[in-house]
Amino acid sequence: MNFWLIQSLNSLALGGVLFTLAAGFSLIFGLMRIANLSHGAYFMFGAYIGLAVLDRGHGFGVAVIAAGLAVGIMGGIVERVVLRRLAGNTLSQVLATLGVAFVIADGALWIWGGDPRPVSPPEFLAGGVQLFGLTFPLYRLAVLVFSILVAIGLWALLDKTRLGVMIRASVDDRQMAQGIGVPATKLFTVVFCLGTALAGLGGVIAAPILSVYPGLDADMLPLALVVVILGGLGSLAGAFVGSLLIGFIYSFGQVLFPDLAYMILFLPMVVILAVRPRGLFGRITA
Amino acid sequence: MTLKELSRGVAAVLLASGLGVGAHAADAIRIGFLTVKSGALAAGGKQMEDGLRLFLKERNNMIAGRKVELIVADTAGQPAITKTKTQELVEKDKVNVIIGPLAAFEALAINDYIRQSETPIISPSAAAEDLTQRKPNPWFVRAVGTSAQANHALGEYAAKQLKYKRIAMIADDFAYGHELSAGFQRTFEENGGKIVQKLWSPLNVADYGTYISQIKPDVDAVFAGFAGGNGIKFLKQYQEYGLKGKIPVLGTMTTVDEGILKSMGDEALGVVSAGWYSATLDNPNNKKFVAEMNRDYKQDPGYYSVGAYSSALMLEQALKDVKGKIEDKQAFMAALRKVHLTNDPRGNISLDALGNPIMDIYIRKVERKNGKLVNAVIKTYPQVSQFWTYKQADFLAAPVYSRDYPPAKNLEK
């Protein structure tokens, strides 16, 4: 009983981390139809910025906001300067994002060095909660709550605002949306900013669990890919359910089938791709 | 390619290499240095380079009366690139000797090429057992020990001194993790202990939470065998899950290496580990080395820095033996295999017949001294070989250490 409970909480917390990563990825893909291969790099860069802010003695909240803003602005610049020039050529755009990922990763190594760095959670979340005689870190529960708040915020944005209507319209039928006057290019920049900002602040949120190190980007990107393939591209609900599902598969898979730990994540992905290529909640195919 | 073209090509290569030797004979000794400057292993690569550069600075770029030139190549920690860079060092830069590479899988990738090209190479870091056991390479010697070398000692220490009976192991799921855990398990169980649980976590695991919550609550200790930065993550989460203070942690050298210890906090306190080095070693060579590392690079040396520094010490002694004539590769290699260091920060070091160091192994405990975490030495096992107390022939007749060898007979469900 204890075992199932603790592992379920682990799964949910990991799912929460994955959601902040995958939501932006999914959003960007849905609108722009490109797999943003620099998404892991934005996540890592956000974590480093958060660390730098914390090192200067600011609070955790400040670090999260600063990283979100900085990485969002960075994403906006990349979209304007790099991706915009390649508009209409998705393959080039995807390759460009891969290039950007390398530049960011090497930049981070250059600025912050290669030493892995642990990050402490904010003071009031540092402890653990007792559950049936076992300790569970409080911060992980907070991550779960935070990711639910992010999900609600995004849902409100997409469902209740004019911007959201334009985004949804463009995801469903880009040409028609443009035809009725949705400013596509502006929207691309906004969504890319938003998506990368989510990755950036997600990096800080995840840092106390994952720590920050060169290679974090490459470790996280495949997870984002798996989540959105499972959940469905361009769908917020898909990203959310996909994240939690992957959290569960990852945690329980490692425990119950330890010999398959390296591939456990990719099995469900293969099944989904074979049986239902657009994913559980997807409205578009890749 | 026709036979004619082939022979022409071979002739050209021979000519070029012949000319190369001629042109460089009186020049500087060229040391190729394979390190990692980008990607996930860059921190270790930087620390190796620090150790090597410190040595060259100490010697003012002169060894055995000859000027030394260092040619640094970045392998990015990828076997394919390591191979290309090694070829480049040997064929284009005409290096006389190579120090490197960092990772065992890199060393394995270039093993055949080293053999063919007959390039002397000193490993400052790669610890894979078979490189100096069942598949020795006449051109390869090692400055560091094998994966299991120090953990043999720790296994015995845990059973005999700490009187632990039941231990759970968790280690990185790759060759280094398998080998080091196997060494620990073997001596621990031979001295009456039982490994009751084995957990293998993927090298790039996102989160140790799922593993830590599986650890049996009634074990006497947990053995943690991690490389790179994973020790940081594991120990921190071990504390967060409330196990620190309840179940003591034993570790391999790299779980609490000085290179990552500087980034850790109280979660590391009390971890007992075994290794061939600690920055706290109380001998004059080490005190000087640590002081200089702190002066130039603002940090205590650990696994990587001391590995590279000691590689250079081995190179220096062999070169002195052959009066600087590194071009006579056979004589140089023979001298390198006979090296006996008395000026190494680690203590006295000599090489066994297979090119692996025989050296003191230190049992260390993480303590806080003057506000800084250090590995305080609590016991020394003098002059330990890679074969521990076993007969070399018996040791080599058994399979190489792995995930399943020696078999764990005491696992509990």
pLDDT in tens, A75-119: 999 999 999 899 888 899 999 999 999 999 999 999 998 888 999
Percent of chain B scored above 90 by pLDDT?
87
Work out the average pLDDT over A233-245: 89
- In this complex, is the C-beta atom of B264 within 8 Å of any C-beta atom belonging to chain A? yes
Rounded to a whole number, what is the distance in Å from the CA of A28 to chain B's nearest CA?
A: 24
- Write down the ipTM of this complex: 0.87
Output the pTM of the full model. Answer: 0.89
Percent of chain A with pLDDT over 70: 98
pLDDT at B1: 46
CB contact under 8 A, A136 and B241: yes
Mean pLDDT of all residues belonging to chain A: 90
What SS3 string covers chain B?
A: CCHHHHHHHHHHHHHHHHHHHHHHCCCCEEEEEEECCCCCCHHHHHHHHHHHHHHHHHCCCEECCEEEEEEEEECCCCHHHHHHHHHHHHHHCCCCEEECCCCHHHHHHHHHHHHHHCCCEEECCCCCHHHHCCCCCCCEEECCCCCCHHHHHHHHHHHHCCCCCEEEEEEECCHHHHHHHHHHHHHHHHCCCEEEEEEEECCCCCCCHHHHCCCCCCCCEEEEECCCCHHHHHHHHHHHCCCCCCCCEEEEHHHHCHHHHCCCCHHHCCCEEEECCCCCCCCHHHHHHHHHHHHHHCCCCCHHHHHHHHHHHHHHHHHHHCCCCCCCHHHHHHHHHCCEECCCCCCCEEECCCCCEEEEEEEEEEEEECCEEEEEEEEEEEEECCCCCCCHHHHHHCCCCCCCCCCCCCCCC
Q: What is the mean pLDDT of residues B155-168?
A: 97
- For the segment A208-214, the average pLDDT, to the nearest whole number, is 91
Residue B152, pLDDT > 90, answer yes
> In this predicted model, what pLDDT tens digit does every residue of B361-375 receive, in sequence order?
999 999 999 999 999
Q: Is the CB of B201 less than 8 angstroms away from the CB of A250?
A: no
Cβ–Cβ gap A262/B210 under 8 Å = no
- Which residues of A are less than 8 Å from B201 in CB distance? 254, 261
pLDDT at B399: 95
Give A211's contacts in chain B (Cβ within 8 Å).
Answer: 229, 232-233, 236
For the stretch B195-215, pLDDT in tens is: 999 999 988 888 899 999 999
- B41 to chain A: which residues are within 8 Å by CB? 114
Whether the per-residue pLDDT at B407 is higher than 60: the answer is: yes
